[in-house]
Structure 1
């Protein structure tokens, strides 16, 4: 029997079933890139009501994408549990699982910026959502870390995107200072949010810093990241950029919260803020360096294939931290150059988003992404014996080999 005859004998499944089966956790960066637009726009110096309306549109797009991705993956887990478990255990796609938590963080930040000022959401609700986020981050990060570190990985294929497994804990500090915007500094709840923000920011930053050290060793060994992994180089901007942003803003809140409760010492708030500004400035420089380090060779190293478009969303959200820090430093040092720089980077962020959303839509329409083959869907519909599952897993490992360089 010829190959064409074998293909004709394969039963056809609906496009919807192929979409659900082919969905993956790599869809969440699209929502995070959308959140990156309104987070950077919210820091523009000269803010108008029209700009706020524009940001709100992206906020609702982000919520829609979050619900779409979460619902689709839930349906996938119900209809095709073997595929859902396969994605979680996958050495490449599994690192994207924690991005559901990061997407949730962008929604909380957007809610604080657009729903609390209008009175639709109360500060008490935001405070509750903060703790939901912390618990959510812990429940996702630690199991994924146990699954991922239970297997060996080839360091010659290392990419900074592997640090996604820790990113949700690092973003606790960013969520904390946003929550503190709507909590009075003299409330006891503000102390808890401040301290938890510092603790988790420390955990997240130092863990991701270890990843960055491995990244430097890897490119010393193999040269700049290329192909799929060229996008992952921008992930290295995230830890120092977001930590700089979190430290400066948490220090600013500590400047009010610590004296209000008579904690540590009379000057503790000022000391924390001053030291946070200095540390933030150092980390900001590191983030800008990593951005340039990834951007300069990017076009020459990237493979221009439409089916790899999802990885290009790393151009957006990892850079939010240091771009937002530009505006904060402008306020601290009262330098108009920082405000202009921030505006330029925000415009570039919007342009990149429109380019990526168009290319992603084109890839989706052409079936390049989020579309499984008929035989893959049928394989997970028809029950198989444990022996067949073991043989399938062995065959997949042999076909993949040790090179997990698709991120």
Structure 2
């Protein structure tokens, strides 16, 4: 199989064209193994965080074991996906640079870091309680390394996106927000692990996490403006892309849970910024809770709009790897809901969070089933699919527009 590039002239695949059916071995199919495959470990890692006795308001014997099993499964999936995409870049020269300059595939280049964010955060939930002091130190080191790398990635990926712009406003989806996501999740990592750190290490981690969370949320708001403009002018995305609408649920959700988590982890004995220590802690917790509720409402709105948009075209939706957006952003939405319920001591909100958790587990299994079926049916990881999809749709639109133009020139409607 010849290596393909991201040039539209190299692809003669149109929307609705069936890929060739000759036999191709699995290793050759890996030519089309894109960054979007990391959405699988993203969703799995988020689920391992959610299935933690420290997070769930209602627990049962064995919940922690289930959470650890999902975490181990996540580590395996992340390793397998990393191995496969490395093989693609080594075996098929040019695919690495092509993936970073591709209009849509490049948006998912940040997903490996997003997968690592959930892996690191889950260490605090499943690893530190069962390990010694060494893992607390390791967690702190991983946080600062991740903080620096994700900041560089946020700048570099957007620089590439802005250098050779190929996307138009009518192509807009919340996936444009993905490059800033990893840096923003530094706040979530801080919220999960700062409480295990010594006070003199916890506060710098919390301040850095708040900085990252703030930048990520503000960039997301700017992206939202274009996203809403796109929907007002052009309507909802295509049915195949509507699962990605749930990505918009993520930033305010993770910001809400990070604010509450960092407020709870702020050392009780450190510096009395606002008076005595008890006053400082009280001010921080009240402010974080009120701001979390304020921001959480945006997640709720995007969740409702995205749900209705997907239900409206449920019979037209075909599986894409973006379907894992049904899971990962909603993990943040669910944990944020549970965190708010705990801070307000609301049994009703706690039960809503538990029900949302159960629905997410079912959703993850359903998306996994469709993922396997799409692989077997050659609907993904196949020529004309994955990274070729955008060029195929663009090629189809160009021919359609030319045809309409020809009709108009002939005086026909």
Q: TM-score, normalised by structure 2?
A: 0.83
Query: Could you list the per-position Cα deviations for residues 183-217 of structure 1 after superposition, in whole angstroms to 9, with x for gaps in the alignment?
Result: 13x3x111210110111111111001111121111
Q: Secondary structure at the match of 1:364?
A: helix
Residue 36 to residue 304, structure 1, CA distance change in 2 (3 Å): farther
CA pair 110-352 structure 1, distance change in 2 beyond 3 A: same
CA contact (8 A) 2:191 2:259 kept: no
| Counterpart position of 1:140 | 153
- The one of 86, 97, 114 equivalent to 1:102 is 114
Say if 1:309 and 1:356, in contact at 8 Å, map to a contact too.
no
Corresponding residue number in structure 2 for 1:371: 382
Aligned pairs for 1:1-400 within 5 A:
15-42=25-52, 43-119=55-131, 122-152=135-165, 153-184=167-198, 186=199, 188-254=200-266, 256=267, 259-263=269-273, 265-266=275-276, 267-302=279-314, 304=316, 306=318, 308-372=319-383, 399=395
Say what the alpha-carbon RMSD is for the aligned residues: 2.5
In structure 2, what is the Cα distance between the partners aligned to 1:270 and 1:332?
Answer: 12
What is the rounded CA distance, in whole Å, between the counterparts of 1:80 and 1:205 in structure 2?
Answer: 37
1:35-65, Cα deviation, whole Å (9 max, x unpaired): 2222222222232341111111211111111
Gaps of 5+ in 2: 1-19, 385-390, 400-413
- In 1, distance between residues paired with 2:70 and 2:381? 23
Task: Return the offset for 1:397.
Answer: 11
Whole-angstrom CA distance in 1 between matches of 2:317 and 2:112: 26
CA distance in 2, matches of 1:73, 1:402: 31
| Native 8 Å contact 1:27 1:310 kept in 2 | yes
Q: CA deviation at 1:139?
A: 3.4
State whether residues 237 and 290 of structure 1, in contact with CA within 8 Å, keep that contact through their aligned partners in structure 2.
yes
Number of matched pairs: 368
Q: Which runs of 5+ in 1 are unaligned?
A: 1-9, 374-394
Give the deviation of 1:67 after TM superposition. Answer: 0.8
TM-score using structure 1 length: 0.84
The residue aligned with 1:377 is none
**Contact kept in structure 2, 1:18 and 1:371, CA below 8 Å:** no
